[in-house]
Amino acid sequence: MLSSEEIKSITLSLGADKCGIASTDRFSSAPIGFRPSDIYSKCKSVVAFLKNLPPEVIMVENPVPYTHTAHMLYAALDQIGLNLCYELEKLKITSVPVPTDNPYLFWDADNKHGMAILSMRHAAFNAGLGILGRNTLLINRDYGNMVYIGALLIDAEVEPDPIVTDFACPENCRLCLDACPANALDGITVNQKRCRENSCYQHPRGWDIYTCNECRKVCPLRNGET
Ligand code: SF4
Ligand code: SF4
């Protein structure tokens, strides 16, 4: 059986910037239907990995470069997950890729509320890749919130990484909550309807253009802990 370190090393060699492992028991507080074992009953561990978003891409005036980069990173992370699945298969570990972004099944149209089949930010948190900020984004120690996340469900029980507990949002920081033009953040969750209506513009040609990043931008931990 491969060790946790070997699995992470393969994942990094496939292009991930960071990788961690979560045991499935860490998802026990996730809603029923959205736990790794609800997706794949043989799942015993979750491999979470991330890629760094180029820091300047959210600082530009035109929203297209960020939208474009986001789509590129979703595809890159999905490809890493698929390649990792094939690599592990050669080593007799069965696994199932889950989408970095969409498709997903749950959609509440009235509230514009969607739920991925597996929450990527919780997978990353459970795999020791960072903390969850009050803007609801993962904050990685080295890359801050400038990350996108992918995951693979594996049927092997391997040593999980420790949960990050040695840094946190500054106690009184509310910069992201105050900066949100849609008042969509309460420090724990995001009101998706308010956020989507403000941050996603549907171009007449059918493209979704991401137009708001204020909660990411203003964060003092945006580019990492230091
Ligand atoms: S992306 Fe914009 S609208 Fe959405 S929560 Fe962040 S600041 Fe608010
Ligand atoms: S802006 Fe402040 S409260 Fe919001 S996520 Fe960043 S550090 Fe945490």
What is the DSSP annotation of the chain?
Answer: ---HHHHHHHHHHTT-SEEEEEEGGGGTTSPTTSSHHHH-TT--EEEEEEEEPPGGGGTSSSSHHHHHHHHHHHHHHHHHHHHHHHHHHHTT--EEEE-SS---SEEETTTTEEE-SS-HHHHHHHTTS-EE-TTS-EEBTTTBT-EEEEEEEESS--PPPPPP-S--S-TT--HHHHH-TT--B-SS-B-HHHHHHHHEEE-TTS-EEE---HHHHT-TTTT---
Q: Tell me the three-class secondary structure of 147-194, residue by residue.
A: EEEEEEEECCCCCCCCCCCCCCCCCCCCHHHHHCCCCCECCCCECHHH
Tens digits of residue pLDDT in 176-222? 999 999 999 999 999 999 999 999 999 999 999 999 999 999 999 99
Binding pocket residue ranges, ligand 2, CB within 6 Å: 133-135, 169-170, 173, 175-176, 218-221
Tens digits of residue pLDDT in 61-83? 999 999 999 999 999 999 999 99
> Over the range 161-193, which residues count as b (16 or more CB within 10 Å of their CB) and which as e?
beebeeeebeeebebbbebbebebbeeeebbbe
Domain that holds residue 137: 4-159
Residue 211 lies in a domain: no
Atom 6 of ligand 1: nearest residue by CA position: 215
Segment 162-169 mean pLDDT: 96
Residue 222 lies in a domain: no
Band of pLDDT at residue 126, cut at 50, 70 and 90: very high
Residue 89 lies in a domain: yes
Please give the distance, rounded to the nearest whole angstrom, from the Cα atom of residue 204 to the centre of ligand 1.
22
Structural domain count of the chain = 1
Q: Scan for tokens 């040695």, then name that residue.
A: 166
Q: Indicate which CATH number applies to the domain containing 114.
A: 3.40.109
Please give the distance, rounded to the nearest whole angstrom, from the Cα atom of residue 217 to the centre of ligand 1.
10
Tell whether the model's pLDDT for residue 226 goes beyond 90.
no
Report whether residue 145 contacts ligand 1, using a CB cutoff of 6 Å.
Answer: no
Testing ligand 2's pocket by substitution, the residue of 175, 189, 222 carrying the most ligand atoms inside 8 A of its CB is: 175
Residue 49 lies in a domain: yes
Residue 183 lies in a domain: no
Q: For the whole model, what pTM was predicted? A: 0.96
Report whether residue 184 contacts ligand 1, using a CB cutoff of 6 Å.
Answer: yes
Query: Which residues, 6+ apart, have CB-to-CB distance to 18 below 8 Å?
Result: 12, 49, 50, 129, 140, 142, 143, 147
Average pLDDT taken over every residue of the chain: 97
Residue 178 lies in a domain: no
Residue 81 lies in a domain: yes
pLDDT at position 225: 80
Residue 223 lies in a domain: no
Band of pLDDT at residue 158, cut at 50, 70 and 90: very high
CA 140 – CA 49 distance, rounded (Å): 11
Segment 40-60 mean pLDDT: 96
